[in-house]
Amino acid sequence: MSFDERRASRPGGRRTTVAAGASLVLLGAVVGFIGLLEATALVRLGTLHLSFGALIVGPANFGLGLFAAWGLRSREAAVLPAFGWFAAFMFGGFGPRPGGDILVPGSGWDVVAFAASGLLGTVCAVAVLFFGAGRPLHPDDLATDESESG
């Protein structure tokens, strides 16, 4: 039985996949808003000042991307949480308010670090998944690939 046949035979099939994808986008938005609230908070390590929001968002986008790809068994799913994060970032920075931004100040290195960290986390997750493209994403796929080849 091929992977596509196994996926189609699961209860819920396509609806479950769409619901999981939507949940990952929503989870990315939650991470985005939590990071936005902490984007200007600084962690002081001696003379080094780091944006706490950037420290949260980068690893969170990386981990959620890997989790999404593993859970949905699709390397392309790694970008789903990033869509929600990006929407939250854009809404927080350019949302409907007479003064402009809602949660994020218009400029500053901490906001730039927050944006760069979020993008870098997603890019790293996608790179890890695509450069390891010869390996299955899930242990069930490994057993099936070995049984089909032999």
**51-61 pLDDT tens trace:** 888 889 999 99
Cβ contacts of 120 within 8 Å, gap of 6 or more: 58
**How many degrees, rounded to 5, is the angle at CA 146 between CA 143 and CA 149?**
145
Rounded to a whole number of angstroms, the distance between the first and last alpha carbons of the chain is 13
For residue 140, is pLDDT > 90?
Answer: no
User: Tens of pLDDT along 69-100?
Assistant: 888 877 888 899 999 999 988 887 776 666 65
**What share of the chain has pLDDT > 90, as a percent?**
17
> Would the pTM count as exceeding 0.85?
no
